[in-house]
Amino acid sequence: MNYDSAYERVSQLKKFYKSLLWFGIVAGIIFFDDIFEEGTINFSLFNGSIILVIWGIILTVKAVKLFLLDAEWENDIIEKEMRKSKKKIDF
């Protein structure tokens, strides 16, 4: 991994962790507000729970892309495909 790709990966990780922190803060505020006002958690669009679900799905997709489908994974798949496509030479 060269410097530029390492710097880009660290930048993406930083953005992801900031988003995760903000998600936690907003989710905590919304859920604790619901519990203190109503005593239960109500899933409706107007109190923010549906927005949190959508935000959570987006964060999950970003996490999969960042941690599972990274450049190292891509290079491994490219190498495997290149090995498959090599034809053996018969003399």
Residue 87 pLDDT: 65
**Are 43 and 49 within 8 A, CB to CB?**
yes
**Domains in the chain: how many in total?**
1
User: If pLDDT is split at 50, 70 and 90, which confidence band does 25 have?
Assistant: very high
Domain assignment present for residue 4? The answer is no
Residue 62 pLDDT: 92
Domain assignment present for residue 34? The answer is yes
Render the burial of 41-72: b for 16+ CB within 10 Å, e for the rest. eeeeeebbbeebeebeeeeeeeeeeeeeeeee
Domain assignment present for residue 91? The answer is no
Q: Using CA atoms, how far apart are residues 79 and 91, in angstroms rounded to an integer? A: 25
Those residues whose C-beta lies under 8 Å from the C-beta of residue 24, and which sit 6 or more positions away, are: none
Q: Which domain holds residue 39?
A: 15-82
User: If pLDDT is split at 50, 70 and 90, which confidence band does 61 have?
Assistant: very high
Domain assignment present for residue 58? The answer is yes
Residue 17 pLDDT: 94
